[in-house]
Structure 1
Amino acid sequence: MSGYVLHAGGVGVRFGGVRALSGVDLGIRAGEVCGLIGPNGAGKTTLFDVLSGIRRPDRGRVLLDGADITRRSPVWRARHGMRRTFQRQQLFGQLSVADNVLVAQEWRGGGGGPAADLLALPSRRARERTRRVRTERVLAHCGIGALGTSYAGGLPVGQARMVELARAVADPPRVLLLDEPASGMSAPEREQLAAVVRRLAAQDGCAVLLVEHNVAFVMDLCTRVVVLDLGTVLAEGTPAEVRADPLVREAYLGAT
Structure 2
Amino acid sequence: MSSTPALSVPSGPSAPPAPPALQATNIGVRFGGIQALDDVSLTLRPGEICGLIGPNGAGKTTLFDVLSGIRRPDEGRVHLDGTDVTRRSPVWRARHGVRRTFQRQQLFGQLTVADNLVVAQEWRGGGGGLAADLLASPTRRTYERDRRARAATVLRACGLDDLGGTYAGALPVGRARMVELARAVADPPRVLLLDEPASGMTADERRHLSSVIRRLSEEEGCAVLLVEHNVAFVMELAARVVVLDLGHVLAEGTPAEVHFDRRVRDAYLGTTAD
- The TM-score bracket by the shorter chain reads over 0.9
- SS of residue in 2 equivalent to 1:255: coil
Shift of 1:52: 0.4
Q: String of CA shifts for 1:194-242, please: whole Å, max 9, x gaps.
A: 1111001000000000100000000001000000000000000000110
Give yes or no for the alignment of 1:228 onto 2:244.
Answer: yes
Q: String of CA shifts for 1:43-70, please: whole Å, max 9, x gaps.
A: 0000000000000101000011121110
Which residue number corresponds to residue 50 of structure 1?
66
User: Which letter maps to 2:229?
Assistant: H
Calculate the aligned-residue CA RMSD, in Å: 1.6
Q: For this pair of structures, how many residues does the alignment match? A: 246
Match of 2:223 among 207, 211, 226: 207
Give yes or no for the alignment of 1:197 onto 2:204.
Answer: no
Which residue number corresponds to residue 161 of structure 1?
177
Work out the percentage of aligned pairs sharing the same amino acid: 74
Which residue number corresponds to residue 102 of structure 1?
118
- SS of residue in 2 equivalent to 1:10: strand
Give yes or no for the alignment of 1:253 onto 2:258.
Answer: no
2:125 and 2:140 in contact (8 A); partners too:
no
Which residue number corresponds to residue 190 of structure 2?
174
Could you tell me which runs of 5 or more consecutive residues in structure 1 were left unpaired when the two chains were aligned: 111-120
User: Which letter maps to 1:133?
Assistant: A
Which residue number corresponds to residue 159 of structure 2?
143
User: Which letter maps to 2:83?
Assistant: A
Whole-Å Cα distance in 2 between the matches of residues 16 and 158 of structure 1? 37
2:53 and 2:227 in contact (8 A); partners too:
yes
Whole-Å Cα distance in 1 between the matches of residues 99 and 143 of structure 2? 22
Which residue number corresponds to residue 116 of structure 1?
none
Whole-Å Cα distance in 1 between the matches of residues 61 and 49 of structure 2? 17
- SS of residue in 2 equivalent to 1:4: coil
Bigger Rg over Cα: 2
Which residue number corresponds to residue 126 of structure 1?
142
Could you tell me the TM-score, scaled by structure 1's length?
Answer: 0.93
Give yes or no for the alignment of 1:78 onto 2:78.
Answer: no
Where has structure 1 moved over 4 Å in runs of 4 or more? none
Shift of 1:2: 7.1
Could you tell me which runs of 5 or more consecutive residues in structure 2 were left unpaired when the two chains were aligned: 1-16, 127-136
2:125 and 2:144 in contact (8 A); partners too:
no
